[in-house]
Structure 1
Amino acid sequence: MTGKRRAVVAGATTLVLLGSGIGVAQAAPAPGAISLVAATKSVIAERYVGDEGSGIYLDLGVNVIAGKSPLEIRTTRTSYQSKIVARQIVTKNGKKTAVKLPAGSVSDFSGLRNFTTITIKNSAGKVVKKYQTDFCPNTYDSVRTRRDAPAQTPYPRYCAGRTSEGGNPFLLGSVWGIQAGWNAGINPMPTNGKAFDLAAGKYQVSVALNPAYRKFFKVPVKSATASVAVTVVNVTPEQKAASAAAVAPKTTPGGHNHGEGDESAQISDYLPQFRAPASRPTAAKVAPKTGPRPDLRSLPAWGISLEKGRNETTGQVNGRWYVNFGATVWNAGSSPLLVDGFRRTGSELMDAYQYVFDAKGKQVGSFAAGTMEWDKREGHKHWHFTDFARYDLLKADKKLAVRSGKEAFCLANTDAVDYTLKSAKWRPENTDLSTACGGNTAVAVREVLDIGNGDTYSQDRPGQSFDVTGLANGTYYIRVKANPVGKLSELSTKNNISYRKIVLGGTKTARTLSVPAVYGIRG
């Protein structure tokens, strides 16, 4: 979320590749950038058959392998009204050049459109299925495929904005890539969302890189196709359940979620990482005025909905109305926001300190930045930093109508917002509550918001949403304000506030909500 009237413009300066020392060229990239490789010559695909129908998921084991150099693509938009543009980043003689991909390669941030064509023939050689699939170079399970490949990959694990499912619609720039000698599995299923099925039997499946990409990446014909024999077998629900039970893990760690509906389960079932005890720093009276700093920006509220209030015990409707929404504050600065909390002995309160770094990443100082408090409520049970953001519902004249009950936060890198920023962290470590918030036995906690990443809270519970029961029909604004009392040091505070217009209507028993688009986005 960004500043009032400049939520988009604030991020636009980061989208010019030339500003990152990357030139723009029209020449094609180096030959042999990628190849298609099948991990095996044949696979067995289970077709699940039950009372509600049948369906199949193909795992062909066909991968895109990067050659001697990484495959790196940056997708950006100069504003939310602009089209998304994809460019390959090519390094030659130590100089990086950005080469625009063919028209139609992208329509959103989910991946390359119509990247491959999959053709399925039955045992008689007749084509029974033929379709195109999109491709995301960022895959969670990417590994190196040859001994001399680099030991690590810098590229993100997902193409879309969120490090978990879903995500805010205000992504500005992303980075897709496959490390040299590493892999990314192709999508074997149609991308049109329609149900997919194949009868039990034997098939030959071919995967071909589509001509526009084969030409652009200069992939030889023999490296642009792969073929796999597929045997489809029927599996009943009983067989599926037995198979799942046999391989089910004994425990399940917590996953990504800042929606807070299931955080207590995550924290109790998964021992969170927290900072080892350290000497309490001597706080500077005034934050240093020079050097790298975070820059907190608020995105417009999103995922906005109207919900009837319910009794938490009985689940019965109680006559109240709530506006739920998601809120994202992100870091567009030149340094991560790093806040350490040090517990006051015998209490459930920590003193919080922001740490600052020089241009080489060396820690050069710290200063007091408020407090962290232990939230013992069900659905929380972790440490909250109290001075990160504030949510308000304003009347049409921008005067306060309702203040959200959410006033403290656990910082986590839940969403990518602009990975084309210089020094953006593409693979952040603390992406969920279990890695960032600490348990009640913690003596110290570290909470971080990395460059290019956002921290999202979905306001989906009464007490964290706006209670609009007694409000008159009309226009209101959801205001999100980062660093609300100015305790954090950042590059600018002029972009800390965002507004999102909503309109309440209807009657006392049947209220309505409309949310006008902002910057052409209805999310």
Structure 2
Amino acid sequence: MSHPPSPSRKRWGRAALVAAALGAPLLAAVAGGSTPATGAEPSNPTLDLTAPERVVVQTYGGDIYSDLGFRLEVTGAPLEIWTQRAADYQSVPTAVAKLPLGDVALPEQVRVGELRRFLRMRIVDLDNPDATPVVRRRSSCLSESTRISPDSQFKNSYPETCFYNPFALGAVQGVPEGWAASVFGSESRLRFKPGTYELSVTITKGYADALGMTADQRTATTELVIEDSDDCRGCRDRGANPRLTPNRTEPDADGGIDSLEDLPPGTPTPDLRSLPAFGIQVNRKGTQLKFAANVWNGGNSPLVVDGFRRDGEDVMDAYQYFLDEDGNQVAYRPVGTMVWHPAPTHNHWHFTDFATYELLNADKTRAVRSGKESFCLANTDAVDLTGDGAAWEAYEEDLGSVCGGYETRSIREVLSAGWGDTYAQFRAGQSFPIKNLADGVYYVRVLANPDGTLVETDTTNNESLRKVRIYTDRNGVRQVKVAPVGIITDDPWGSFRTR
């Protein structure tokens, strides 16, 4: 049963943000958010709760793993909230919004690091009009922020998530000007049977009044379709996908950067390199050669790729950003696309122009190409932290990767300097079909930046080859023998040892 969208639903974005997209190709960094023009009077931020018109989600064991697309958009000035308590733990925490026009007290808190009873949710069962609406209140944390304007500050100056500890004494959460934060986090924690619902979310009165939100700004509504899916977390019927629109404006399609020579002199750059494949084994049926692979960044700058969702599509336009030595944005260029990857071992957004895997014949011509052609960039392994610009605390740095859920409309994926991204054998696409291949010598080829789309320091070190021999043993079972790399060898589970 389908239902027309409610006329009160808000659409993502604003005319001002659309106009902001029509800027110069090179975007100057804005350190610390938007600064008022000389002589301009400071003002408090404008806050607006937004949601997509329709969201389709699947349950997994009765739970919904989605933030449902609800975002708190912040424009005009940053939103910063401090929560503190006395060191003797004899009183409840207090929360204060630190605004340009002065501090504003927020409602009474219970725990440091969350906003108590921040949201009011009203759920109406559209399949059963006689059912009583369900009303719930829930606490929240402003997290997982993304830019909604390309001329806002490049980095998020606030923590990406909230950390809870019963003995915490102080916490800071916030949203930079020109950014939007999730109000649910990665999980909405809803438990409803499959069906179609109207979900209205409202910032509760005490917070809305303190933050200067109007009745329209504090409420957003979506049509929520819940489907039963017990066997695949996050899987979706592509034919049932809602029409999702972008939640931020993207930069000019002509970024003005085609090569290293176009960058300002001395701009740090990433340098993608491939490690030899490892953990190589044949599956039990003898039909697939499974492997793990790692592409890492040996440059002196993080690889930063932002995605902007296309209107009504499961595709994002991707842009590579370039930073100066202080981490400020100095340039960008379009570098392909990101796509939603629905496989059970992925269920997030992948960048499509990062690496390819091939199984080569003994003469190094292609025998088979892996079906895996997209990646979510993330720091999984510290490969070389002794290099110039290597990030020693990559998991804590501001430019953290967010692979995102289906409702995400803009995203940032990052591979820090000195770090690599490993995809293990159990991931979908990490194998070659060998059922029709003859026994013999082959090479597992891992190639970073295969189409030269990304701008990097050196493209001559993007390839790695790992020699293997596929054979059939006396029992008719297909096996593989993997050549060592120097004095290093590894077993099929990827455990390295020195010969």
- Tell me the TM-score normalised to structure 1 length: 0.44
- Tell me the TM-score normalised to structure 2 length: 0.46
